[in-house]
Amino acid sequence: MSTTAKAYGTEAAEAPLNQLNITRRNPTPHDVEIEILFCGVCHSDLHVARNEWHSTIYPTVPGHEIVGKVVNVGGHVSKFKVGDIVGVGCMVDSCQECEYCKESMEQYCVNEMTQTYNSPDKHLGTHTFGGYSESVVVDEKFVLRIPENLDLAGTAPLLCAGITTYSPLRHWNVGPGQNVGVVGIGGLGHMGIKLAKAMGAHVIAFTTSESKFEEAKRLGADEVVLSKDADQMAAYKGKLHFILDAVSANHDVNTYLSLLRVDGSMVLVGVPEHPLSLASFNLVIGRRSLAGSAIGGIAETQEMLDFCGEHNITADIEMINIQDINEAYERLLKSDVKYRFVIDMASLKD
């Protein structure tokens, strides 16, 4: 019981993305069928398309920042109706039985969450296909409500970049009276600045480029620091309560750790390819922590969307047609985007 859907993907690591057909299941009683309107372009999409994490199953269709319209619902669906505007992020299923699923931390499911693409698909026996497609069918438990006031294209990146930065900021109780550093002003970092600011923190953005100073302030940073200037960095030594490290490239975390106050935490949300070099001294002095965080649970993702609705926060985006995706990947590699590409999926109908 399945149908064919148009999508954009690739058959091999070296091949460009191109149009192909995929199979979507017909909605089960608990499923929601979504016509995809917009899909954000996450760096993970590129990693998987090019098999950079050595686990890609081909053909692959990336995309996990999905906003769309409900066009069909299964008989037992209670949360959504045809016509609703909804979102789907990085997960479309999890075991629902382990201790972490029961605590609404499906992202840490002991039996491994089903990712929106490149995971085993228990319905069709194949693997999951992502949001570079005209439609997707998802269990309603993994479908999110989109606040009415938000721009839909700018909302798509909230489903990954938004929750990835919101979750650690919330988990580590970022708020008023705190100096919060955000390292890296890209897809994740620009959301980190907006969200930390909306949570009431005093936000200090760190960038390697003086040209980003004005931008960082426009995004909401109270202060901006040129990270390669040792004097500027030294002025913040021991001053920060929390640092969100949104850099995916290899970089020196030690310089930042020394900026933390006693009991401060620095949290990695990017995953650099090579191991980091860590001077343990920087943790021992000041009882500091270096931690990591991966997306967020479904309940927390809904909380993030509602928070963004309340504070009118969306991502800063550059809209593209699906036919421009290969060029967009090249620009992504050069960080040449402010700050997230979003695909207008209407272009797939052309």
Using CB under 8 A as the criterion, which residues of the chain lie in contact with a copy of itself when the complex forms? 100, 105, 108, 110, 168, 171, 238, 254, 262, 265, 268-272, 275-294
Q: Which residue has the tokens 């967020």?
A: 296
Q: Of the two residues 100 and 341, which places its CB atom closer to a copy of itself in the complex?
A: 100
Shortest Cβ 115–a copy of itself spacing (Å): 13
Residue type, 237: K
Q: Of the two residues 123 and 288, which places its CB atom closer to a copy of itself in the complex?
A: 288
Shortest Cβ 272–a copy of itself spacing (Å): 6
DSSP 3-state assignment of 191?
Answer: helix
Q: Of the two residues 283 and 337, which places its CB atom closer to a copy of itself in the complex?
A: 283
Shortest Cβ 254–a copy of itself spacing (Å): 8
Q: Under a CB-based contact definition with an 8 Å cutoff, are residues 68 and 34 in contact?
A: yes
Q: Under a CB-based contact definition with an 8 Å cutoff, are residues 239 and 259 in contact?
A: yes
Shortest Cβ 61–a copy of itself spacing (Å): 24
Q: Find, among 298, 268, 269, the residue nearest to 89 by Cα.
A: 298
Q: How far apart are CA 133 and CA 234, in angstroms?
A: 48
Q: How far apart are CA 143 and CA 214, in angstroms?
A: 36
Helix axes 161-171, 187-198, angle to 10 degrees: 40
Q: Of the two residues 120 and 272, which places its CB atom closer to a copy of itself in the complex?
A: 272
User: Is 208 buried (19+), middle (13-18) or exposed (0-12) by CB count in 10 A?
Assistant: middle
Q: How far apart are CA 210 and CA 204, in angstroms?
A: 14
User: Is 57 buried (19+), middle (13-18) or exposed (0-12) by CB count in 10 A?
Assistant: middle
Shortest Cβ 118–a copy of itself spacing (Å): 16
Q: Of the two residues 45 and 134, which places its CB atom closer to a copy of itself in the complex?
A: 45
DSSP 3-state assignment of 145?
Answer: strand
Shortest Cβ 188–a copy of itself spacing (Å): 12
DSSP 3-state assignment of 212?
Answer: helix
Shortest Cβ 89–a copy of itself spacing (Å): 16
CA R_g for the chain:
20
Shortest Cβ 105–a copy of itself spacing (Å): 6
Residue type, 77: V
Structure tokens at 124: 């069709």
From first CA to last CA, the distance across the chain in angstroms is 27
Q: Of the two residues 166 and 341, which places its CB atom closer to a copy of itself in the complex?
A: 166
Q: Under a CB-based contact definition with an 8 Å cutoff, are residues 250 and 276 in contact?
A: yes
Q: Of the two residues 293 and 314, which places its CB atom closer to a copy of itself in the complex?
A: 293
Q: Of the two residues 276 and 319, which places its CB atom closer to a copy of itself in the complex?
A: 276
Q: How far apart are CA 297 and CA 34, in angstroms?
A: 21
Q: Of the two residues 27 and 192, which places its CB atom closer to a copy of itself in the complex?
A: 192
- List beta partners, residue 75: none
Shortest Cβ 291–a copy of itself spacing (Å): 4
